[in-house]
């Protein structure tokens, strides 16, 4: 009896998840995909008709535009309703209910034998400590035990599993009464990316704070409170080792949960603990980490504002090679130094004071050397209002008729530096190559592209809405074979529809000619050889396609080298008896240089020919506001929407950093390192990667670098292009608002500034 489905393979990949194993493709178009486990996994061109048991996947069918819109509307309503229900339930989920659920999971799931051995061998824990800590093992997307509230933090939307992506050990947190109130997962999967400790989703308490853990020792002797970093195994081990009560915080962020911290102090005082004096245990190497020291300053300030005396526990843990408190063999080595006498803390505060006194100069210096030496960390004030007052001119770099990139009377930047930035920006965003053909038409016509000769690359540079795709169809129709990769699957499908191509997902088999579109991620599945016979290699929105090659999805499972090699092979094959065509309104010298370098590396004598349509369609106005909050704009926007006006809203970036004027500062204030490859200049980025080859070998090999002993550097056309992309992105983030404004004005869109305090203006183009 024949089956009505086939399993996915390298010839027939899953159209939903792009994987080549595990999924089923049915004759009626239905797809059984194992990777769709919740609503957010559903691609826009499919809809779910059924869910598999135990969160193992879903049945999906292709959706029409009408189905898709209606389905999206219903899905949004369902998700909104579910979110309201969960938020309402979370507010009523008591500590007792959390404790009961966690203990039930501990008893029903348990700790695996291998994890128990791991804790004994790597942490030196006893069975008693392991059992007291309620640790239990979690498989990826752990099945939910019976009788666990569906609104418990970390429950999957399928209501059948937890949301943990990787296997690990669940580490419960406890309150002052010994009740389990939350779970952090210690990830044990070596292939997992990111931090080792992860919260289950929605672990915040009802007051909005992240939980702290309160650990009593097995034998309480010392009558002082200890504050340590971490909520996993360290607080329990430290409590037993020190024989005192320990309060642990994820990332050492005790200050982020002040209400809970105060409640724990009261609970400790009720059992005879002296809470007027607190002891802070630093991890190894903390004193050389400016972000940790800044965190320590803030914590000490908070505790001293509560009239607490703070002591720093010190056993000369200067470097990362020193033991943390849970690893220390002899606690008698510990000295307790008052915070006011702890020299590393005082030195850091003095340096911080000097930075604040001359903040504008420091910021200018940061910009002046945007690629800091390896190991250097950016240090800034966390007081944003004070910071903005000191360097306000720099943080609002909108050009107002002068030539200063960052106008500020208090902190002028060196003219040579500004000139270098301007030259770099101009070079990265302009097209200076002489056009092979000039056109000036509102709409391109097939006759404009009729004189093309085989064996060359043609780049069509024309504004949006001028008929590039429509006119190129006459070119594609002349060829027997075509491959058209795109940056997005949805765009590839649209292109397939407009040019009468077959999308790769719909390709069952072919004989003779092949005309196919695909996402660049899947280019390696096609044979470039078909383009050798009257073929065209079509790159719609070529700038987006090339940048997408360096995205995460194009290197999933290490496949980027394969994709880039296929790209080069398609280039060479098409030029043998056909054309390579790229189209975009935003082609620059960077794309032209990449293609020319690829031609040189492949030994091809083809030319890169620019077809430039100089026509610019009329544009509207772009209104932008200068108030601190957009709240006053909402009512006006709602009125415009009800009138049927098109409204476009552009939010600058995360956490309200208006304009991304100094993304570097924002990163530093979050306590993260802004790596040295984040220079404003392509040459410096390239030099940084070459200086740090060992640390970046995996990335460099993915962009097909070769070593040149004459210049002592690693290079490739792809690497050269990517350095330019990095520099362009970093320039945007350093001066986003001004550059966006200039870009809009360059396209003919008039920008007008209105403070909402004086007048409400709709934002629409």
**What integer pLDDT is reported at residue 673 of this predicted model?**
40
**What integer pLDDT is reported at residue 691 of this predicted model?**
80
CA atoms within 13 A on the CB side of 484: 32
Q: What are the contacts of 561-565 at 24+ separation with CB within 8 A?
A: 561/701, 561/702, 561/704, 562/524, 563/520, 563/521, 563/523, 563/524, 564/703, 564/704, 564/718, 565/704
Whether 644 and 740 share a structural domain: yes
**What integer pLDDT is reported at residue 407 of this predicted model?**
35
19 within domain boundaries: yes
Q: Is the pLDDT of residue 330 over 50?
A: yes
42 within domain boundaries: yes
Longest CA pairwise span in the chain (Å): 92
Computed on alpha carbons and rounded to an integer, the radius of gyration of the chain in Å comes to 30
Does 56 or 623 have the greater pLDDT score? 56
Whether 54 and 128 share a structural domain: no
Q: Looking at residues 487-502, what average pLDDT do you find?
A: 90
Whether 77 and 131 share a structural domain: no
Nearest residue to 185 via CA among 175, 195, 200: 200
Domain end point (choices 35, 68, 87): 87
**What integer pLDDT is reported at residue 635 of this predicted model?**
65
**What integer pLDDT is reported at residue 336 of this predicted model?**
95
**What integer pLDDT is reported at residue 331 of this predicted model?**
92
Per DSSP, the residues of 642-710 read: HTT--------SGGG-GGGTTHHHHHHHTT----TT--SSHHHHHHHHHHTHHHHHHHHHHTT-EEETT
Q: How many domains does the chain have?
A: 4
**What integer pLDDT is reported at residue 660 of this predicted model?**
41
For residue 738, give every residue at least 6 positions away whose Cβ sits within 8 Å of its Cβ, in sequence order, or none. 397, 398, 399, 405
Q: Looking at residues 88-98, what average pLDDT do you find?
A: 70
Whether 498 and 597 share a structural domain: yes
SS3 5: strand
Across the chain, what does the average pLDDT equal?
79
**What integer pLDDT is reported at residue 538 of this predicted model?**
96
Whether 457 and 308 share a structural domain: no
Q: Is the pLDDT of residue 584 over 70?
A: yes
Q: Looking at residues 616-621, what average pLDDT do you find?
A: 72
Domain CATH code at residue 217: 3.90.980.10
Q: Is the pLDDT of residue 278 over 90?
A: yes
Whether 645 and 583 share a structural domain: no
User: Residue length, the chain?
Assistant: 765
Q: What are the contacts of 61-65 at 24+ separation with CB within 8 A?
A: 61/29, 61/30, 61/31, 62/29
524 within domain boundaries: yes
pLDDT tens string 339-372:
999 999 998 888 877 665 554 444 444 444 433 3
Q: Looking at residues 17-41, what average pLDDT do you find?
A: 81
Q: Looking at residues 538-543, what average pLDDT do you find?
A: 94
Q: Looking at residues 138-154, what average pLDDT do you find?
A: 90
Q: Is the pLDDT of residue 424 over 50?
A: yes
Whether 479 and 337 share a structural domain: no
Q: In terms of DSSP bridges, do strands 197-199 and 213-215 run parallel, antiparallel, or are they unpaired?
A: unpaired
**What integer pLDDT is reported at residue 16 of this predicted model?**
82
713 within domain boundaries: yes
Q: Looking at residues 561-581, what average pLDDT do you find?
A: 93
684 within domain boundaries: yes
Whether 265 and 158 share a structural domain: yes
Contact 175, 214 (CB under 8 A): yes
Domain CATH code at residue 586: 3.40.50.300
State which of 60-64, 266-270, 345-349 shows the largest mean pLDDT: 266-270
**pLDDT grade for 625, boundaries at 50, 70 and 90:** low
Other CB atoms within 10 Å distance of the CB of residue 641: 12
Whether 647 and 672 share a structural domain: yes
**What integer pLDDT is reported at residue 85 of this predicted model?**
53
Does 692 or 396 have the greater pLDDT score? 692
98 within domain boundaries: yes
Question: Percent of the chain having pLDDT more than 70?
Answer: 74
445 within domain boundaries: yes
**pLDDT grade for 55, boundaries at 50, 70 and 90:** low
Q: Looking at residues 467-485, what average pLDDT do you find?
A: 92
Task: State the Cα torsion 610-616-617-618 to the nearest 10°.
Answer: 170
Domain end point (choices 87, 118, 153): 87
Q: Looking at residues 327-341, what average pLDDT do you find?
A: 93
Question: Percent of the chain having pLDDT more than 90?
Answer: 41
357 within domain boundaries: no
Whether 483 and 582 share a structural domain: yes
Q: Is 267 exposed, middle or buried (0-12, 13-18, 19+ CB in 10 A)?
A: middle
Q: Looking at residues 94-108, what average pLDDT do you find?
A: 93
**What integer pLDDT is reported at residue 37 of this predicted model?**
75
d(CA 143, CA 160): 6
**pLDDT grade for 172, boundaries at 50, 70 and 90:** very high
Whether 136 and 260 share a structural domain: yes
pLDDT tens string 30-54:
898 888 877 767 776 778 888 876 6
Domain end point (choices 35, 55, 87): 87
Q: Which of 353-367, 671-685, 732-746 has the least mean pLDDT?
A: 353-367
Does 552 or 117 have the greater pLDDT score? 117
**pLDDT grade for 581, boundaries at 50, 70 and 90:** very high
For the whole model, what pTM was predicted?
0.47
| Residues of the domain holding 79 | 5-87
Please list, residue by residue across 113-140, b when 16 or more beta carbons sit within 10 angstroms of its beta carbon and e when fewer do.
eebbebbeeebebeeebbebbbbbbbee
Does 234 or 506 have the greater pLDDT score? 234
**pLDDT grade for 736, boundaries at 50, 70 and 90:** low
CA atoms within 13 A on the CB side of 638: 5
């Amino acid at each position: 009896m024949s089956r009505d489905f086939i399993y996915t393979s390298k010839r027939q990949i899953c159209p939903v998840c792009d994987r080549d194993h595990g999924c089923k493709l049915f004759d009626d178009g239905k797809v059984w995909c194992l990777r769709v486990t919740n609503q957010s996994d559903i691609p826009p061109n499919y809809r779910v008709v059924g869910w598999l048991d135990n969160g193992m996947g879903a049945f999906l069918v292709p959706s029409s535009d009408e189905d898709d819109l209606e389905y999206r509307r219903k899905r949004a309503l369902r998700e909104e309703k579910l979110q309201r229900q969960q938020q309402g339930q979370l507010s009523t989920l008591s500590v007792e209910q959390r404790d009961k659920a966690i203990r039930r999971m501990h008893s029903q799931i348990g700790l695996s034998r291998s994890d128990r051995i791991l804790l004994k061998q790597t942490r030196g824990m006893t069975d008693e400590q392991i059992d007291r800590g309620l640790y239990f093992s979690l498989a990826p997307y752990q099945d939910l035990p019976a009788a666990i509230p569906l609104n418990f933090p970390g429950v999957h939307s399928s209501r059948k599993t937890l949301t943990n992506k990787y296997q690990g050990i669940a580490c419960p947190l406890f309150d002052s009464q010994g009740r389990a109130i939350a779970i952090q997962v210690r990830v044990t999967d070596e292939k997992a990316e990111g931090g080792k400790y992860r919260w289950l989703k929605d672990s915040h308490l009802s007051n909005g704070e992240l939980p702290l853990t309160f650990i009593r020792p097995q034998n309480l002797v010392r009558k002082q409170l200890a504050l340590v970093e971490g909520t996993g195994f360290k607080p329990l081990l430290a409590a037993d080792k020190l024989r005192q009560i320990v309060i642990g915080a994820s990332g050492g962020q005790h200050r982020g949960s002040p209400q809970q911290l105060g409640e724990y102090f009261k609970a400790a005082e009720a059992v005879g603990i002296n809470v007027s004096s607190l002891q802070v245990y630093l991890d190894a190497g903390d004193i050389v980490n400016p972000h940790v020291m800044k965190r320590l300053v803030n914590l000490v300030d908070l505790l001293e504002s509560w009239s607490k005396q703070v002591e720093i526990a010190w056993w000369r843990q200067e470097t990362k090679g020193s033991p943390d408190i849970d690893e220390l063999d002899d606690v008698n080595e510990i000295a307790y130094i008052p915070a006011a006498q702890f020299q590393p803390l005082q030195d850091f505060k003095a340096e911080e004071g000097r930075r604040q006194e001359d903040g504008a100069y420091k910021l200018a210096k940061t910009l002046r050397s945007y690629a800091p030496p390896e190991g250097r960390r950016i240090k800034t004030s966390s007081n944003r209002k004070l910071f903005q007052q000191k360097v306000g001119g720099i943080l609002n770099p909108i050009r107002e008729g002068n030539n200063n990139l960052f106008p500020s009377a208090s902190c002028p930047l060196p003219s040579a530096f500004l000139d270098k930035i301007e030259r770099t920006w101009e070079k990265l965003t302009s097209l200076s190559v002489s056009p092979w053909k000039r056109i000036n038409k509102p709409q391109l016509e097939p006759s404009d592209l009729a004189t093309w000769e085989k064996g060359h690359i043609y780049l069509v540079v024309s504004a949006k809405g001028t008929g590039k795709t429509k006119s190129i169809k006459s070119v594609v129709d002349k060829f027997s074979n075509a491959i058209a990769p795109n940056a997005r699957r949805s765009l590839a499908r649209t292109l397939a529809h407009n040019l009468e191509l077959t999308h790769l997902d719909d390709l069952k088999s072919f004989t003779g000619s092949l005309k196919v579109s695909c996402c660049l991620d899947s280019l390696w599945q096609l044979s470039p050889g078909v383009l050798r016979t009257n073929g065209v290699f079509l790159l719609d929105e070529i700038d987006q396609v090339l940048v997408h090659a360096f995205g995460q999805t194009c290197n999933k499972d290490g496949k980027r080298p394969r994709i880039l090699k296929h790209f080069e092979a398609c280039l060479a094959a098409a030029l043998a008896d056909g054309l390579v065509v790229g189209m975009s309104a935003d082609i620059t010298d960077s794309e032209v240089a990449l293609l020319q370098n690829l031609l040189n590396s492949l030994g091809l004598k083809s030319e890169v020919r620019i077809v430039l349509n100089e026509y610019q369609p009329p544009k509207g106005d772009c209104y932008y506001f200068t108030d601190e909050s957009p709240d006053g704009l909402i009512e006006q926007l709602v009125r415009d929407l009800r009138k049927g006006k098109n409204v476009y809203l552009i939010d600058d970036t995360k956490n309200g950093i208006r304009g991304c004027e100094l993304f570097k500062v924002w990163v530093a204030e979050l306590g993260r390192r802004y790596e040295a490859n984040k220079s404003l200049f392509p040459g410096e980025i390239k030099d940084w990667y070459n200086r740090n080859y060992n640390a970046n070998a995996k990335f460099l090999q993915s962009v097909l670098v070769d070593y040149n002993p004459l210049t002592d550097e690693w290079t490739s056309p792809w690497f050269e292009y990517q350095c330019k992309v990095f520099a362009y992105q970093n320039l945007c983030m350093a001066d986003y608002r001004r550059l966006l404004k200039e870009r809009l004005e360059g396209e003919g869109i008039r920008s007008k500034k209105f403070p909402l305090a004086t007048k409400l203006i709709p934002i629409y183009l």
